[in-house]
């Protein structure tokens, strides 16, 4: 008896599902047949009703009609209906885009009421009707209840409030204005401005005015935070390149003009490893290429540095001008070598998936993961260098050579080996700096030249051979440059920073942290 009851329940549920799935399909067939009606009103009503259906047939029929329909009003309704259906799409990006489109439909009403006919033609000449507003609100509310993604939820909530600004009830409009102010999206300022110009009720108009003012203040705060973050980001890049330069110059007294090219080699090592992963590995592991590129770029550029020190630099110790000219020649050779192998055009290094996107801080402000990673990586490198120099016997020997080469040699410290290790370390640090810089944009044979002058200024500004001074110099230059660029232009910002560095060195020639020795 129990088995019979269970079978009956299963059959009932099965038939119920069939009835549920067939009903929308039959309704869709009926409405689709009405799309070919010659009566325009019949066609418009059919389009509206199809927008209420969660049916693939309705979506296909509306897309087909969209490609053939010539009437502007019908096309307007088709766009609304399509996006109402897309609110329930399985793709997050599609749902988000649909909510944005529906939320902005009211902008046409404000444009037509606040601009002349010629200006309004930029937005279309069809107002959003009461019925269509109600349909959009219904679809958005339903989508909000079903939505799991928080970002899409935020877009839907904003779209609902935008449509409510068209409501006849002044209380609803005022509440919508206040709500949009709480959301604080700077992209809504123009929409709210048009609504304010069209609004006739003084209370609602004042609410819109306060909302716009509130969003503008939030936008100013976001801009300040963004500029400060950009300054820290630029500073970390300067520091990552300059720290190797500071060690090399502090220990060996060598001005390495090829340091920028070692950085450029790190960029191309990252590019080559990316190509290997793209060609020989599956997409699932592609994002791991960067984790391999970091140590490989360090090793490759350190070996190049070791080769340069053993063949060129070692023969020119104590001859600063000759060393400068020799390393400048090496930099030109490395640039030409890269041009011969990879071509003169810049190449793109794709960021791994785990470094795409950013950290949302507030409306209109997002901190990119790749720049946050570079800042964190630079901090870890600085900590590692400090541990090496201050907590190891090798670091003790490096500091001894840095303070007094002659006395260190007399005490049995292998000065030549320390020189070779130091130059290799500095070159390797330039390589991993290049690997990180490849995340920010395309790289080419002359990439190193874009950074080397600024990094030399960081070293001189901080005090030759002083890591603490280099940190202060990098962050001082980075933040100052970011502030000047905000108020002027990128090129003028660099000029002003350069002038400030000259003025600073005029009164403090030793930089932030003077080098001390026992000579």
Task: Please provide the DSSP assignment of 273-334 as one string.
Answer: HHHHHHHHS-GGGGGGHHHHHHHHHHHHHHHHHHHHHHHTGGGGTT-HHHHHHHHHHHHHHH
DSSP code for 347: B
* Residue 432 sits in the same domain as residue 283: yes
Q: Which residues of 366-392 are buried (b: 16+ CB within 10 A; e: fewer)?
A: ebbbbbbbbbebbeebbeebeeebeee
pLDDT of amino acid 465: 62
Residue 260 lies in a domain: yes
* Residue 259 sits in the same domain as residue 404: yes
169-203: per-residue pLDDT in tens? 889 889 988 888 888 888 888 888 888 888 888 88
Structural domain harbouring 87: 33-219
Average pLDDT score over the chain: 82
Burial of 103 (0-12, 13-18, 19+ CB in 10 A): buried
107 — pLDDT class (breaks 50, 70, 90): low
pLDDT of amino acid 126: 60
Residue 7 lies in a domain: no
Query: Angle at CA 402, nearest 5°, toward 401 and 404?
Result: 60
491-510: per-residue pLDDT in tens? 888 889 889 888 888 888 87
pLDDT of amino acid 302: 95
* Residue 175 sits in the same domain as residue 66: yes
Q: How many domains does the chain have?
A: 2
428-446: per-residue pLDDT in tens? 999 999 999 999 888 999 9
* Residue 115 sits in the same domain as residue 204: yes
* Residue 209 sits in the same domain as residue 270: no
- The number of beta carbons lying within 10 Å of the beta carbon of residue 275 is 13
CA distance 248 to 253: 7
* Residue 331 sits in the same domain as residue 182: no
Calculate mean pLDDT across residues 418-424.
90
- Across 183-197, 331-345, 483-497, the highest mean pLDDT is recorded for 331-345
* Residue 246 sits in the same domain as residue 125: no
Residue 28 lies in a domain: no
Residue 462 lies in a domain: no
* Residue 283 sits in the same domain as residue 153: no
130-149: per-residue pLDDT in tens? 777 888 888 888 888 888 88
54 — pLDDT class (breaks 50, 70, 90): low
Asked whether residue 516 carries a pLDDT value surpassing 90, the answer given is no
* Residue 153 sits in the same domain as residue 287: no
Asked whether residue 123 carries a pLDDT value surpassing 50, the answer given is no
Calculate mean pLDDT across residues 60-66.
79
Query: Reduced to 3 states, what is the DSSP secondary structure of residue 515?
Result: coil
How many CA atoms are closer than 13 Å to the CA of 487, on its beta-carbon side? 8
* Residue 195 sits in the same domain as residue 260: no
Asked whether residue 220 carries a pLDDT value surpassing 50, the answer given is yes
Calculate mean pLDDT across residues 213-224.
88
Which helix (H) or strand (E) segment holds residue 382: the answer is helix 369-391
pLDDT of amino acid 305: 93
pLDDT of amino acid 491: 83
Asked whether residue 363 carries a pLDDT value surpassing 70, the answer given is yes
Residue 499 lies in a domain: no
- Across 16-20, 56-60, 166-170, 288-292, the highest mean pLDDT is recorded for 288-292
Residue 188 lies in a domain: yes
Q: Which residues of 438-461 are buried (b: 16+ CB within 10 A; e: fewer)?
A: bbeeebbbebbeebbebbbbbbbb
* Residue 198 sits in the same domain as residue 258: no
Residue 361 lies in a domain: yes
Residue 229 lies in a domain: no
* Residue 210 sits in the same domain as residue 345: no
């Amino acid at each position: 008896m129990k088995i019979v009851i269970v079978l009956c329940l299963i059959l009932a549920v099965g038939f119920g599902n069939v009835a549920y799935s067939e009903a929308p399909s039959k309704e869709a067939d009926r409405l689709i047949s009405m799309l070919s009606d010659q009566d325009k009103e019949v066609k418009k009503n059919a389009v509206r009703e199809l927008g209420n259906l969660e049916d693939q047939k309705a979506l296909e029929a509306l897309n087909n009609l969209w490609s053939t329909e010539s009437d502007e009003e019908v096309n307007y309704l088709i766009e609304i209906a399509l996006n109402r259906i897309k609110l329930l799409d399985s793709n997050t990006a599609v749902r988000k885009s649909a909510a944005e489109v529906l939320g902005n439909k009211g902008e046409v009403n404000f444009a037509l009421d606040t601009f002349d006919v010629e200006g309004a033609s930029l937005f279309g000449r069809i107002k959003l009707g009461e019925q269509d507003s109600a349909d959009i609100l219904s679809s958005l509310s339903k989508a909000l209840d079903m939505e799991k993604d928080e970002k899409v939820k935020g877009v839907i909530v904003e779209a609902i409030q935008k449509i409510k600004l068209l409501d006849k009830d002044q209380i609803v409009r005022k509440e919508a204005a206040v709500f949009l102010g709480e959301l604080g999206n700077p992209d809504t300022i123009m929409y709210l401005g048009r609504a304010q110009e069209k609004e006739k009720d003084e209370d609602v108009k004042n609410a819109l005015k306060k909302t716009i003012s509130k969003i503008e203040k939030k936008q100013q705060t976001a801009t300040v935070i963004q500029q400060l973050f950009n300054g820290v980001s630029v500073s970390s890049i300067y520091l990552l390149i300059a720290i190797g330069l500071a060690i090399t110059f502090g220990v060996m007294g060598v001005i390495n003009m090829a340091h920028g090219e070692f950085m450029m080699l790190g960029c191309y090592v990252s590019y080559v490893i990316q190509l290997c992963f793209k060609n020989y590995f599956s997409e699932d592991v592609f994002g791991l290429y960067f984790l391999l590129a970091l140590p490989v770029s360090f090793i490759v550029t350190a070996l190049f540095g070791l080769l340069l020190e053993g063949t060129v630099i070692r023969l020119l110790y104590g001859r600063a001008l000759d060393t400068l000219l020799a390393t400048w020649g090496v930099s030109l050779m490395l640039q030409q070598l890269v041009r011969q192998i990879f071509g003169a055009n810049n190449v793109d290094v794709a960021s791994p998936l785990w470094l795409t996107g950013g950290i949302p801080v507030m409306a209109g402000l997002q901190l990119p993961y790749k720049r946050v990673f570079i800042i964190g990586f630079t901090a870890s490198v600085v900590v590692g260098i400090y541990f090496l120099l201050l907590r190891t016997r090798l670091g003790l020997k490096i500091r001894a050579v840095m303070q007094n080469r002659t006395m260190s040699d007399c005490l049995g410290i292998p000065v030549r080996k320390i020189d070779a290790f130091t130059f290799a370390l500095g070159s390797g640090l330039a390589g991993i700096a290049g690997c990180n810089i490849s995340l920010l944009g395309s790289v080419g044979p002359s990439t190193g030249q874009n950074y080397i002058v600024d990094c030399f200024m960081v070293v001189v500004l901080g005090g030759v051979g002083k890591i603490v001074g280099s940190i202060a110099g990098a962050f001082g230059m980075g933040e100052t440059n970011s502030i000047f660029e905000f108020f002027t232009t990128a090129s003028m910002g660099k000029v002003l920073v350069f002038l400030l560095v000259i003025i600073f060195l005029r009164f403090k020639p030793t930089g932030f942290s003077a080098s001390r020795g026992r000579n």
